[in-house]
Amino acid sequence: MACEVWKNWTKWGLVKYGVKIGDSDNANAIVYVDESTGLIMKEEFFSLKGQDAETAAPRFVFELRDLKMDVDDSVFTIRKL
């Protein structure tokens, strides 16, 4: 199975990767990565069958929102019973 990947920057400081999945022209994904943390912040999966690639809506979207990397250490303390 072949994979075609492209890379672009977004206005939110994320790196946007586009992936053509396999040999089909109908299966694409877009992945947004925060390079400072290495975390995938958003993934969009497209089925382009019968749709224009420029205007197609994603079939599935997975997204992290309001992620805070600085938390109070008390969050990780184990309570004694």
Q: Residues with Cβ < 8 Å from 74, sequence gap 6 or more? A: none
Q: pTM score, two decimals? A: 0.69
Beta-strand relationship, 27-34 and 3-9: unpaired
**Residue 81 belongs to a domain:** no
With cut-offs at 50, 70 and 90, classify the pLDDT of residue 81.
confident
**Residue 27 belongs to a domain:** yes
Tokens at residue 49, please?
């069958």
Show the domain range for 16. Answer: 3-76
Q: Is the pLDDT of residue 31 over 80?
A: yes
**Residue 53 belongs to a domain:** yes
Q: Is the pLDDT of residue 22 over 80?
A: no
% of the chain surpassing 70 pLDDT? 80
Between residues 60 and 50, the one the model is more confident about: 60
Bridge partners (DSSP) listed for residue 61: 44
Give the pLDDT score at 69: 81
**Residue 48 belongs to a domain:** yes
